[in-house]
Amino acid sequence: METNSLLLILILISSLIPGILILLLDEAQAFQRNFLNLFGAVAKVALVGWVFVGYMQGETYAFIYGLAPDLTFALKADKMGLLFAALSSVLWLVTTLYAIGYLKGGKHQRRFFAFFSLCVTSSTGIALSGNVVTFFVFYEFLTLSTYPLVVHRGDDKAVEAGRTYLWYTIGGGTVLFLGVVALFVLAGPIYFGQTEIIASLVSENTLQLTLIFFLMLSGLAVKAAIFPLHGWLPISMVAPAPVSALLHAVAVVKAGAFGIARLVYDVYGIPTSEELNLLTPLAIFAGFTIIYGSVKAFYQDDFKKLLAYSTVSQLSYIALGVAITGVLSATGAVVHLVHQGIMKITMFFAAGNVAETYGFYRISQLNGIGRKMPLTMGAFTIAAFGMIGLPPIAGFVSKWYLGLGAVEAGSYWVVLVLLASSALNAAYFLPIVYRAWFCEPDQKEVLPKYRGPFEAKALLLIPVVLTGLFSLAAGLFAGSNYSPLAIAREIAEKLYPNLP
Amino acid sequence: MIWLSVIILPLLAALLTSRYPSGRRNAGPIFVLASLPAVGLGLAEVPGITLDWFILGTQFSLDTPRRIILLLTGILWASSGLFSGTYLKDDIRRGSFNFYFGGAMAGNFGLLITEDAASFYTFFALMTFASYGLVIHSQTAAARKAAKTYLVMAIIGELFIISALFLAVQSAGSMLLSDLPPALANASNGPFIFLLGLIGFGVKVGAIPLYFWLPLAHPAAPVPASAVLSGAMIKAGLIGWMHLAPVGLVDWPSLSLMMISLGFTATLGAVIIGLLQVDPKTNLAYSSISQMGLMTAFLGIGLYGGIPGSLLLPAIALYAFNHGTAKALLFLGTALPGKVGGYWRILMWLGLGLAVLAIAGGPLTGGLWTKYLLKTFLSKTSLPGIDVFAYLLTLSAVTTTLLLSRFLHILRQVESPKESKTPSFILPWFFLLLAGGWWTMSPTLLPEGLMYQILGEKGMMAFFWNPITIWAALWPIILTAATLVVVFTLKSSFLNRWIKEKPLIPPGDFLYVILWIGNLFEKQIQKVIAFMHSFGESRHSAEKIIYKFIDNKKTIQISTQAESLLRRWEVVGISFFIFFVALFFLLR
């Protein structure tokens, strides 16, 4: 096997092997477990970085293995996949640190970390899949490997949440499967980027292609939490904080959003999607979800539930950007894949820190928390401002491109949706910021559960500070050649080769 | 390097003076140092630079109006910073004040030196949101209310600004702010885009009808923060307008007339409400609304009749410079009467009097000079009904004198301290007095063409010592002073009894109208909210169907079985393991 193909396999194995080995370990072997985890995570970041640099220098990375005639297992690196793989691997490393700190002394850590690794294997698999079938395989593995994480606590609430989660995702998977099979029957094996195959079928199979698109879209929309298929997301926030963080930032929801981008950009292609008029319904659903999620978030007092509804809203930015044609909105969509991830993971880390250190789970308990946990809440504030779309934070960059893209496409209603969402985001995030920094703590002083030199356990504090800084840097240095924005712009420009 | 240091030094200062005790002790000098690069750029011309990597690609450079405002802003932040160092010496939340003060300072400087839309918006937002911390600083109920009003209005403003920028940048096809006015002039929806910007930045300027947060928020902040809010930050909105306004390129009669009428309404109307206030800082806030109204009106004149922007905009900026220094002097001055004793008191009254004269346009002041400068444009426009505005401009001299006399009158009621120990913060106050509005007459600020337009061949001395000029400046003030003397001598208790404890109209006037209307519709609003709430709480139909399915007995049975099997993680884990091992061998 060539080195370049081997590298792609290694990227997957770097979390798969630790996952399997952890299963073979004893619950008490914490050191070995943590070592394996961190070793895998660091190796994965390094490998993805290596491939990324190589790809930018013109190397090609592909791996194809025939399972049956016409049915292939294919891995292929392209820019969008690598961006997603980089996001997954970096955030996995950070979340692993966090999870080690968070679960220390807890039960069932072996199970947790094993599936945690498998979960990331699936999400990098999704990122590097080269064709529809491989994508589907990893997409379903993701469902299975996250289930044990959602029910990790094992109480009734968690089991109930896990059940809802499975119903939604397996249902979505089934629908997606129908779509994939139908597409396979109609068009044969489709590798990502081969949009000409579908384009050549359009004139004779309009109805079939439209149906297949919506089948696949609704399958993907479950994980992307687009209304009315979002119901599982707020419920499954019962999972431990690191799981919620990873679930909401990269693993599950991003798989859906990324899948939608792949479907439109690399399977159907923009010209075909436009010709079949597939994008308008997507835009409408996404636009509605943005507002709906924000309105729901506004009424939550439970910190994590508020964040969950906020995710519902923010994810649809990606779908909305995909649904609006034009290089600017495509840039906005792709860059928001990354930006939403780093901002939202920061918020979940912060919520987890507050819950772990002071036992606060509700917004109304957060008075004066900023003075007790300045770094945690500082990072949270950055992320919250970013979500509102205030510069110079990552979320502003996404919103700027989506807004300009909407104007470019003449879809002025989308600008209104973005503005309304900003206003709503401000309405539910700023009260938290206000409580944290400008309110006196309640009369009854709550002592922190943690005592030590910092405001929280170091392993909980470092990740939140890191991702907070990422969120700031992604916006502040967006213009540089190595920012997520620069890569997103290259991806988007490649999608619209005819533009000057 | 100097361009970046304009922003970075205030941010560093914010950190130093909030985190470290020694930084807190020396906050005054640190803030002065932090504003030096801005002052320097205001005085000397430096070639601009481009930083591609910063935000969405940043350009720093200055044009004449912005250089004038930058100099003003630098001077005000330096003197207010120095003032705050001693004024807030014993404040327990001084560190937090310094943090937001430095942040707002960086934003205020940054928005003036940036040439591209995204960075401009960035620094504008930084200033806006950092000053929230200044407004709420005292954390009293009144400050919280003011801060809330401020924040809500600020966010509404931001939304309008960003939508204006989206449209303007898209129609210009460029991020450069200097490309926006020509693009707006050519675009069919140009007036609409400008209207969006007019509303968005109008919040900051305190334009009618968006001003009502201002008389609440400006006075709520500690004295040095009020000074920069009302002297410097309020001008950021003006700069925002200038970035969008295609002055000299268009004939937009309705927008032009709208701005002029709203401007003069503010100029005269704010005086009336301001006269009914009892708090000196609220009085000054209304005076700021009134003065910004004049600038609004003159910018409006530029939207009709081909007045060149290269002349009108620097003239407005000079007017703003004079107003800014004098207004800051008065705001900082509100802290003095209770603290200053002895001979310093005479100097204090002298300084306050001069500042009042400078705003009212008294002889030999920058106020006269800049107002005269603006007046020359009235004769150059062909806008209908412009004669009326010339009279209104003269009338505004009377009303301004009236309003600021009331301000002095309020200050006079403050008892002087028993021991004549003079606080050290009177020094920055005098520094500001020296740097005051007279600078507007300095050749460092004036573009060539503008100078010639007013003075012709004559030169400055001839202008100032002209009896006609002196008389034109003097009579409104003499008239007002005479009226005041009559009022005071005939019925000395009249004003005192009139409004001493409570303002006749509460500050924020219009806000109460909004709230009153809101109360009228309270029931309906509550219904809407309840509806939205129910919508938010009830499970929507798709979910209902799914749940019906899930709650079915048989489904539950099957699912629990499947679940218990699935939950045995060994099953899942081992199947994973087998799959991947198989895959691995197959692939080899």
pLDDT at B308: 86
B122: contact with A, CB 8 A cutoff: yes
With 60 as the cut, is the pLDDT of residue A4 above it?
Answer: yes
Higher-pLDDT residue of A171 and B486 is A171
Q: In the structure, what pLDDT confidence band is assigned to residue B536 with cuts at 50, 70 and 90?
A: very low
**Average pLDDT value over all residues in chain B:** 82
Q: What is the ipTM of this complex?
A: 0.91
| pLDDT tens-place string over residues A402-450 | 999 999 998 899 999 999 999 999 999 999 999 999 988 877 777 777 7
Same structural domain for residues A362 and A467? yes
Q: In the structure, what pLDDT confidence band is assigned to residue A462 with cuts at 50, 70 and 90?
A: very high
Q: B559–A167: do the CB atoms touch at under 8 Å? A: yes
Which 3-state string (H, E, C) describes B475-501?
HHHHHHHHHHHHHHHHCHHHHHHHCCC
DSSP state, residue B178: G
| pLDDT tens-place string over residues A33-77 | 889 999 999 999 999 999 999 998 888 888 888 877 778 889 999
Q: Are B103 and B75 in contact (CB under 8 A)?
A: no
Average of pLDDT values for A199-203? Answer: 87
The C-alpha atoms of residue B429 and residue B351 are separated, in whole angstroms, by: 9
Residues of chain A contacting residue B535, judged by C-beta atoms under 8 Å apart: 295
Domain boundary among A231, A259, A274: A274
Q: A479–B580: do the CB atoms touch at under 8 Å? A: no
Q: B125–A415: do the CB atoms touch at under 8 Å? A: no
Residues of chain A contacting residue B118, judged by C-beta atoms under 8 Å apart: 391, 400
Question: Which among B4, B552, B572, B574 is the top mutation candidate for probing chain A, defined by the most A β-carbons within 10 Å of its own β-carbon?
Answer: B572
Residues of chain B contacting residue A168, judged by C-beta atoms under 8 Å apart: 546
A335: contact with B, CB 8 A cutoff: no
The C-alpha atoms of residue B321 and residue B446 are separated, in whole angstroms, by: 12
B572: contact with A, CB 8 A cutoff: yes
| pLDDT tens-place string over residues A292-341 | 899 888 888 899 989 999 999 999 999 999 999 899 999 999 999 999 99
Same structural domain for residues A204 and A287? no
Q: A65–B586: do the CB atoms touch at under 8 Å? A: yes
Q: Are B60 and B115 in contact (CB under 8 A)?
A: yes
Average of pLDDT values for B295-311? Answer: 88
pLDDT at A98: 92
In which residue are the tokens 């094993």 written? A114
B53: contact with A, CB 8 A cutoff: yes
- What is the distance in angstroms between the Cα of B72 and the nearest Cα belonging to chain A? 25
Selecting from B55, B144, B147 the residue whose C-beta is nearest the C-beta of A476 gives B55
Adjacent-strand bridge partners of B116: B176
Higher-pLDDT residue of A450 and A192 is A192
pLDDT at B7: 93
Question: Which among A396, A425, A429, A483 is the top mutation candidate for probing chain B, defined by the most B β-carbons within 10 Å of its own β-carbon?
Answer: A396
Give the orientation angle of helix A412-438 with respect to helix A374-388, to 10 degrees.
Answer: 160
DSSP state, residue A448: P
Which residues 273-302 of chain A have a CB within 8 Å of chain B? 295-296, 298-299
Which residues 414-433 of chain A have a CB within 8 Å of chain B? 415, 419, 422-423, 426, 430
Copy the structure tokens of residue A150.
């959602």
The C-alpha atoms of residue B242 and residue B313 are separated, in whole angstroms, by: 7
Q: B121–A391: do the CB atoms touch at under 8 Å? A: yes
Q: Are A264 and B501 in contact (CB under 8 A)?
A: no
Same structural domain for residues A359 and A430? yes
Domain boundary among A274, A304, A331: A274
Same structural domain for residues A232 and A328? no
B162: contact with A, CB 8 A cutoff: yes
pLDDT at B539: 46
Q: B396: which residues sit within 8 A by CB, 6+ positions away?
A: B264, B267, B268, B290, B294
**Average pLDDT value over all residues in chain A:** 89
Residues of chain A contacting residue B569, judged by C-beta atoms under 8 Å apart: 111, 114-115, 148
Same structural domain for residues A326 and A437? yes
Q: In the structure, what pLDDT confidence band is assigned to residue A500 with cuts at 50, 70 and 90?
A: very low
Same structural domain for residues A1 and A33? yes
| pLDDT tens-place string over residues A10-20 | 999 998 999 88
The C-alpha atoms of residue B267 and residue B353 are separated, in whole angstroms, by: 21
Which 3-state string (H, E, C) describes B275-294?
HCCCCHHHHHHHHHHHHHHH
Q: In the structure, what pLDDT confidence band is assigned to residue B506 with cuts at 50, 70 and 90?
A: confident
pLDDT at B55: 86
Same structural domain for residues A161 and A194? yes
pLDDT at A444: 73
| pLDDT tens-place string over residues A426-438 | 999 999 999 999 9
| DSSP-derived 3-state class of residue B269 | helix
Name the domain count of chain A: 2
Domain boundary among A213, A246, A274: A274
Same structural domain for residues A262 and A314? no
pLDDT at B422: 65
With 80 as the cut, is the pLDDT of residue B477 above it?
Answer: no
Q: A438–B155: do the CB atoms touch at under 8 Å? A: no
pLDDT at B588: 43
Cα dihedral sign, A67-A72-A76-A79: negative
Same structural domain for residues A103 and A11? yes
Copy the structure tokens of residue B136.
């709420």
| pLDDT tens-place string over residues A202-245 | 888 888 888 899 999 999 999 999 888 888 888 888 888 888 88
- What is the distance in angstroms between the Cα of B32 and the nearest Cα belonging to chain A? 26
A370: contact with B, CB 8 A cutoff: no
A318: contact with B, CB 8 A cutoff: no
Same structural domain for residues A236 and A315? no
| pLDDT tens-place string over residues B401-450 | 888 888 888 888 887 777 666 667 777 787 777 777 667 666 666 766 66
Same structural domain for residues A135 and A21? yes
pLDDT at B496: 56
Domain boundaries, chain B: 1-189+204-246, 247-503, 508-538, 542-588
Q: B533–A299: do the CB atoms touch at under 8 Å? A: yes
Same structural domain for residues A217 and A352? no
With 90 as the cut, is the pLDDT of residue B456 above it?
Answer: no
The C-alpha atoms of residue A456 and residue A466 are separated, in whole angstroms, by: 15
A170: contact with B, CB 8 A cutoff: no
pLDDT at B537: 45
CA angle A8, A14, A18 (to 5 degrees): 155
pLDDT at B310: 85
Range of the domain at A395: 278-500
pLDDT at A440: 85
In which residue are the tokens 């939403």 written? A340
Residue B101 C-beta-side C-alpha neighbours within 13 Å: 38
Q: A357: which residues sit within 8 A by CB, 6+ positions away?
A: A373, A448, A449, A450, A455, A456, A457, A460
Copy the structure tokens of residue B508.
């924020």
Higher-pLDDT residue of B545 and B468 is B468
